[in-house]
Amino acid sequence: MENAYVAVDIGASSGRLMLAEINNQQQIQLKEMHRFKNGFKKADGHDRWNIDYLIHEILTGLEKIKAAGYQQVYLGIDTWAVDYVLVGQDGKKLADPISYRDHRTDHAIADLTSDLPKSYLYKKTGIQFLDFNTLYQLYEENEALLEQTKQIMMIPDYIGYVLTGKAVTEVTNASTTQMLNLQGRLFDEDLLAKVNVHDSQFAKLVEAGTPLGQISANWMESFDLPETQVITVATHDTASAVVGTPGVGHDWAFLSSGTWSLLGTELNTPENGQLAFENNYTNEWGAYGTYRFLKNIMGLWIAQCVKRIYGDQYSFSELASLAGQEKPFQQFIDINDERFVNPDNMIEEIQQYCRETGQAVPEMPGEIMMAIYSNLALFYANEVQKLDAILDCHLNTLNIVGGGSNIALLNQMTSTLANVTVVAGPNEATAVGNALVQMISTGDVQDLKAGRQMIANSFDLKRFEPEADQYAGVLKRYQDFLNGHSKELV
């Protein structure tokens, strides 16, 4: 019997259980078995994730998989990065985890780095400065809770722990804490001390692809589940997305396009020199000793917030077709401006930005969406140029994966502005990468290179080439605008 692999992939906006199998043509077949919503809600004064609900949805999804005839499966879990659960002496969570978008860390970078130069921190960790990194969240953590904390677990590690009773700290996600030392490849003691935590509060570091254990007997008794072997995959969703990106050769960049847009390239050695520091590029650890050299871009979060304001009126694809009827580049917006991280009303925030900068104010849904897509494409193109400069290379292909790879309009604008071939798909690359690490772990797939080839043979990838003479001069004018207005996330 062929092995069945379940990828549990939970992003900030939704979670899913995808079933992956290898067919006779050596293709990966992916089937969605369960999908559920995710989002944070205000509780006890903070924006929090409902972690018990997420675990319950995983168990519900597994029940559906059993009902579909699967008696035995492997399972891997990936989620968004940086957030964590504090676990007390009794092995139970002390509180629901706080979301990285909570305002508690708004000033944390400035406070923490007042006596610790940023350049020093960057040399140690190679990680970009984002005020929601775990380092700053722990800096702002409730002291009484921290005192009662036996273990600090990243979200996917915590879910794996609740399911199996086994605790590990997986490295791809742990690197986003900004507390791992690039040289020693362990937690950095100075940085831990700075936020009053200790190495012993983290379970042992493991690489992606390490078996974790069986789902505990108590869950098997209360739910009708298949026999489930959990494998610790690349638990950071972006790390899984990059594993699941069918890049070919050496001149490709990736854009993992979902709630966030993560644009960068895969490296075998980290790049934490001056240019990378100045441009706030990160070196997150990847599966199989790689590094994700990338930048966080505000991404489709902006579109999600806009859609929420319109209620059930439009689907994402309807909004995208309304955008397609409008003229692009009617206004320049620095979409990485902090004001877009968690505003009360995204539409008003965009409109206010345009007023403040003396530009045309988008009003209709199509105009708003076109303003968002135009400025995402411009941001992407600008970063592709920066990557070429920082790494002294020429990237020819941009592989776009994730939900955003469905947006043909955005793919085409990006290809033209960045002057690169865009290869779009798979749109569930994160789940594919999650499953692929499991398949490599069991020996069903030889290695990452063979796996990426299988992905290219398994999914319908779409190519977009630059359109000649379109948008001449727009990128340059955008860059001039940014030079005058840019307020980066840091």
Annotate 228-264 with b (16+ C-beta within 10 A) or e (fewer): bbbbbbbbbbbbbbbbbbbbeeeebbbbbbbbbbbbb
Q: Which is nearer to ligand ADP, 124 or 307 (CB)?
A: 307
The SS3 call for residue 9 is strand
Respond yes or no on whether the N-terminal peptide bond of residue 362 is cis (omega within 30° of 0): no
Number of residues this chain uses to bind ligand ADP (CB under 6 A)? 17
Binding to ligand ADP (CB under 6 A): which residues in 271-330? 300, 303-304, 316-317, 320
The values of phi and psi at residue 265, to 5°, are -145, 160
**Between residues 11 and 270, which has the closer beta carbon with respect to ligand ADP?**
11
| Catalytic residue flag (residue 78) | no
HSE on the CB side for 389, CA within 13 Å? Answer: 12
Binding to ligand ADP in span 352-381, by CB under 6 A: none
236 labelled ligand-binding: yes
Q: How far is the CB of 460 from ligand LRH (least distance, A)?
A: 24
3-state SS record for 337-351? CHHHCCCCCHHHHHH
Stretch that binds ligand ADP, among 11-19, 23-31, 345-353, 440-448 (CB under 6 A): 11-19
Smallest distance, ligand ADP to C-beta of residue 304, A: 5
Shortest distance in whole angstroms from residue 243 CB to ligand ADP: 15
Cβ distance to ligand LRH smaller for residue 169 or 259: 259
How far lies 487's CA from each of 127, 293, 333, 335, 484, in Å? Answer: 19, 21, 11, 10, 9
Instruction: Pick what 81 binds: ligand ADP, ligand LRH, none; C-beta below 5 to 8 Å, kind-dependent.
Output: ligand LRH
Q: Is 403 annotated as a binding residue?
A: yes
Contacts for 35 with CB less than 8 Å, ≥ 6 apart? 14, 15, 16, 17
Q: Is 12 annotated as a binding residue?
A: yes
Residue 404 interacts with ligand ADP (CB under 6 A)? yes
Q: Is 416 annotated as a binding residue?
A: no
Residue pair 64/220 in contact (Cβ under 8 Å)? The answer is: no
Half-sphere exposure of 202 (CA within 13 A, CB side): 25
Tell me how far apart the alpha carbons of residues 128 and 116 are, in angstroms, rounded to a whole number: 15
Q: Answer yes or no: is 237 a known binding residue.
A: yes
Q: 396: Cβ–Cβ under 8 A, 6 or more apart, which residues?
A: 251, 252, 420, 421
Q: Is 425 annotated as a binding residue?
A: no
Q: Which does 403 bind (CB under 5 to 8 A by kind): ligand LRH, ligand ADP, none?
A: ligand ADP
- Contact partner at residue 329 from ligand LRH, ligand ADP, none, CB < 5 to 8 Å by partner kind: none
When CB distances are held under 5 to 8 angstroms depending on the partner's kind, the choice from ligand LRH, ligand ADP, none that residue 407 binds is ligand ADP
Q: Do residues 251 and 269 touch, judged by C-beta distance below 8 A?
A: no
Nearer Cβ to ligand ADP (287/376): 376
Task: Tell whether residue 403 is a contact of ligand ADP (CB under 6 A).
Answer: yes
Contact with ligand ADP (CB under 6 A) among 97, 160, 402, 451: 402
Residue in 237, 337, 392, 444 annotated catalytic = 237
488 phi-psi bin (left φ>0, alpha ψ -120 to 50, beta other): beta
The contact set with ligand LRH (CB under 6 A) reads 11-12, 80-82, 100, 236-238, 258-260, 262, 296
How far from the centroid of its chain's Cα atoms is residue 412's Cα? 23
CA dist 97 and 401 (Å) reads 28
Report, in Å, the least distance between residue 335 CB and ligand ADP. Answer: 14
64: burial class by Cβ within 10 Å (0-12, 13-18, 19+)?
middle
Pick 90 or 460: Cβ nearer ligand ADP: 460
For binding to ligand ADP (CB under 6 A), which residues are involved? 11-14, 258-259, 300, 303-304, 316-317, 320, 402-404, 406-407
Annotated binding site for ATP: 12-16, 259, 304, 403
Residue positions annotated with a catalytic role? 237
Annotated binding site: 12-16, 81, 236-238, 259, 296, 304, 403
